[in-house]
Amino acid sequence: MHNGKARAFTNIALIKYWGKKDPKLILPMNSSLSLTLDAFYTETSVSFSKDYTEDLFYLDGYLQEGEKKMQKVSRLLNLARKQAGIYDHAVVHSHNFVPTAAGLASSASGLAALAGACNEALALNLSSTELSRFARKGSGSACRSIYGGFAEWKKGDSDQTSFALPVDANQWENELAMIFIITNDKAKKISSRNGMQQTVETSLYYNDWLKAAEADIKTAKNAIANQDFHALGEVIEANCLKMHATTLAATPPFSYWTPDSLKAMNKVYEMRQNGQNCYFTMDAGPNVKVLCPKKDSQKIYNDLQKEFSEQQLVLAHAGKGIESLETEVSK
């Protein structure tokens, strides 16, 4: 029996990963930049044993059945077994820690935690770079959750050269906050995996997105180096809008926005006009995330409470990188 356990925090992309050059290896079309946050995380344990007859994956206590639900987990288990030279099946227990029941489960923290747990269980002794590369093959965004604070996923052009690295901000990340506005959408969603694929294949604006993303990442890194909140805010908000614009020009067109998303974006514009320091970003879903200086976060939170209920709002700060956890001793 080989046991391992790890905790990984989720990350939110400030400059988005949107499109794959190689869907099998998960090589992205563009580099991306994220902030790891403290409010959402996943703890995952894995045990490999000759006694098991199949791989089993429990998420928050519920067995996940079927190829689709097992896809990302199976991929990492197979790669881990290959690297360790074993054939044992595995049992995975994963718990998502989220402050509300609004379904903010994240494949970034989930697959990063599984990568870390496999690394521990099979004593793979992966460096951070190797662990990032390994997590990437479960889910692209997971490669950024290896690190606390800011991280850049360098797109690379091969399995070896595509991984994330920390972006040193001289602790500036600890002066920032992000407020999640959970819009509780019930509409049918297009998964990010399918949405980005459809966009790469059909969007009229996709080439322009790629050009913009490369320029935006440079601007964002300069803003971080200069600790310039407004420069960072402007580029992340514009980058998010450009990503979402590509979906409108896909065939068939689609959008992740709902009326509540627009309400939240407009609220951010209004607060900014009134002198508040805040900018939004959105991922492949209707929730809106507001970046602001930590010192202003309570006032901005209070303003948002005029439009949204307390259950819809979550205040987060910069989170830590992946951590190994103790496993129960096996008999």
Return the range that interacts with ligand 2P0 (CB under 6 A); candidates 10-18, 77-85, 124-132, 168-176. 10-18
- Selected from 32, 96, 183, 246, the binder of ligand 2P0 by CB under 6 A is 32
With contacts defined by CB under 6 A, name the span among 1-9, 11-19, 93-101, 200-208 that binds ligand 2P0.
Answer: 11-19
Residues 97-116 contacting ligand 2P0, CB under 6 A: 107
Separation CA 96–CA 100 (nearest Å): 11
Does 250 help bind ligand 2P0 (rule: CB under 6 A)?
no
Determine the Cα–Cα distance for residues 112 and 242; give it in Å rounded to an integer.
27
Minimum CB–partner distance for residue 138 and ligand 2P0 (Å): 7
- Tell me if the bond preceding 252 is cis, omega within 30° of 0: yes
| Shortest separation between residue 89's beta carbon and ligand 2P0, angstroms | 23
Strands (DSSP E) found in the chain:
2-15, 20-22, 27-28, 32-49, 56-59, 62-63, 89-97, 150-154, 163-166, 176-181, 279-282, 288-293, 313-317, 323-325
Among 129, 73, 75, smallest CA distance to 321 is for 129
Specify the residue, 244 or 267, whose C-beta has the smaller distance to ligand 2P0: 244
* Nearer to ligand 2P0 among residue 146 and residue 271 (C-beta): 146
CA distance 85 to 77: 12
Instruction: Closer to ligand 2P0 by CB, 7 or 244: give it.
Output: 244
Q: How far is the CB of 328 from ligand 2P0 (least distance, A)?
A: 30
What is the H or E stretch that residue 300 is in?
A: helix 297-304
The nearer residue to ligand 2P0, 17 or 48, going by C-beta atoms, is 17
- Characterize the bridge pairing of strands 89-97 and 56-59: parallel
**What string marks each residue from 115 to 144 as x (binds ligand 2P0 by CB under 6 A) or -?**
------------------------xxx---
Which residues within the stretch 269-298 sit at the binding site for ligand 2P0 (CB under 6 A)? 283-284
- Residues in contact with ligand 2P0, total (CB under 6 A)? 14
What DSSP letter does each residue of 203-261 carry, written as one string? -TTHHHHHHHHHHHHHHHHHHHHTT-HHHHHHHHHHHHHHHHHHHHTSSS------HHH
- The HSE-up count of residue 316 (CA atoms within 13 Å, CB side) is 28
Binding mask 168-207 for ligand 2P0 (x = CB under 6 A): ------------------------xx--------------
Q: Compute the least distance from the CB of residue 107 to ligand 2P0, in Å.
A: 4
Closer residue to ligand 2P0 in complex, CB, 233/303: 233
- What is the distance between the alpha carbons of residues 44 and 5, in angstroms, rounded to a whole number? 6
Question: Helices 229-248 and 192-202, interaxial angle, to 10°?
Answer: 70
| Environment class of 69 (CB within 10 Å of its CB; exposed 0-12, middle 13-18, buried 19+) | middle
Question: Shortest distance, CB of residue 22 to ligand 2P0, whole angstroms?
Answer: 11
Neighbouring-strand partners of residue 15: 33
Summarize as ranges the residues that interact with ligand 2P0 (CB under 6 A). Answer: 13, 16-18, 26, 32, 107, 139-141, 192-193, 283-284
